[in-house]
Amino acid sequence: MNMSGSGAPPWKVAWITGASTGIGRELAMLLARRVETVAISARSTDKLEELASTDPRLHPVPLDVTDAQAVAECIGAIERDAGPIDLAVLNAGTWTLLDRADIDLAAMRAGIEVNYMGVVNALAALVPRMRERGSGHIVIVASVAGYRGLPRSAAYGPTKAALINLAETLKSELAPLGITVSLVNPGFIDTPMTRENPFPMPGLMPAPAAARALLDGLEKRQYEIIFPRGFVRAVKLLRILPNRVFFWYVSRFVMGRSKR
Ligand SMILES: NC(=O)c1ccc[n+]([C@@H]2O[C@H](COP(=O)([O-])OP(=O)(O)OC[C@H]3O[C@@H](n4cnc5c(N)ncnc54)[C@H](OP(=O)(O)O)[C@@H]3O)[C@@H](O)[C@H]2O)c1
């Protein structure tokens, strides 16, 4: 097992969802230097093909992660063509800003379907296969937004909180079966997802640096991988604040902050 970033890579076949842009795209390019086959999934076939044209180790497998059957077929096809997936990075995600208690059913349902059920759909097909082999590394990309309920995040934060909870359950349950689970909680990363945000984003990190930090954490087989570290640690502190102090902090420092 490679623990240092040098020597033989720990995985032969990797699969990344949400690989057409942002963190997933950058991670795919990094992994292609170290892993024999990197299957890249998202809905945008054109972007996947353009990315795959940069490296013969990248293989586009277009997919909508909300379609459970398509996800199962995609995983079956990758394993048939390339061999067992030993690293699965479940990274596809969507973010819609909801402000001022705007309960937008479509946005909230999309958040659950893509961010949460998109991961569950992959787990349903991956876990039995990895369990049978007694090996595999599953990576769930959540967010600092899942640590506590924050303004404007009603369609997003709850889905990431659910993923953080799910990853904890899976870590304990899958370890005895030889399956590693990692949880990724990024802070603000400069990707298409955040480009239109109308509020200040402290510690905004370029996507290539985020992907590098993610890969470093995976190679060290860390459970929770965070970047940028200073900002994420600060947000994580909110988890231990008493409610009274937390709500005071949010009303004083987070509510109503806007760049516009
Ligand atoms: N950027 C940040 O500040 C930040 C912070 C914390 C966590 N995260 C998380 O990091 C992950 C990557 O986000 P990013 O910042 O790199 O954003 P991004 O550039 O918008 O990437 C999102 C990816 O998900 C794919 N996707 C969306 N819906 C999909 C669906 N139904 N089926 C398959 N793929 C789908 C998109 O591709 P298509 O549109 O082509 O399908 C795209 O490749 C997400 O889970 C996000 O929540 C991001």
What pLDDT, on a 0 to 100 scale, did the predictor assign at position 8?
A: 66
Closest ligand 1 atom to the C-alpha of 144? 6
pLDDT digits (tens, 9 = 90+) for 29-77: 999 999 999 999 999 999 999 999 999 999 999 999 999 999 999 999 9
What pLDDT, on a 0 to 100 scale, did the predictor assign at position 101?
A: 78
**CB-count exposure of residue 253 (10 Å: 0-12, 13-18, 19+):** exposed
So which residues are the catalytic ones? 156
The three-class DSSP label of residue 44 is coil
For residue 115, how far is its CA from the centre of ligand 1 (angstroms)? Answer: 9
Average pLDDT over every residue of 10-27: 97
Opening angle at CA 204, ends 198 and 206, nearest 5: 120
- Domains located in the chain, CATH noted: 13-254 (3.40.50.720)
| 132-135, Cβ contacts within 8 angstroms, sequence gap of 24 or more | 133/84, 133/178, 134/177, 134/178, 135/86, 135/178, 135/179
* Alpha-carbon span 137 to 88, nearest angstrom: 6
pLDDT digits (tens, 9 = 90+) for 152-204: 999 999 999 999 999 999 999 999 999 999 999 999 999 999 999 999 999 99
For residue 157, how far is its CA from the centre of ligand 1 (angstroms)? Answer: 14
- Ligand 1 close to Cβ of residue 93 (< 6 A): yes
Closest ligand 1 atom to the C-alpha of 48? 40
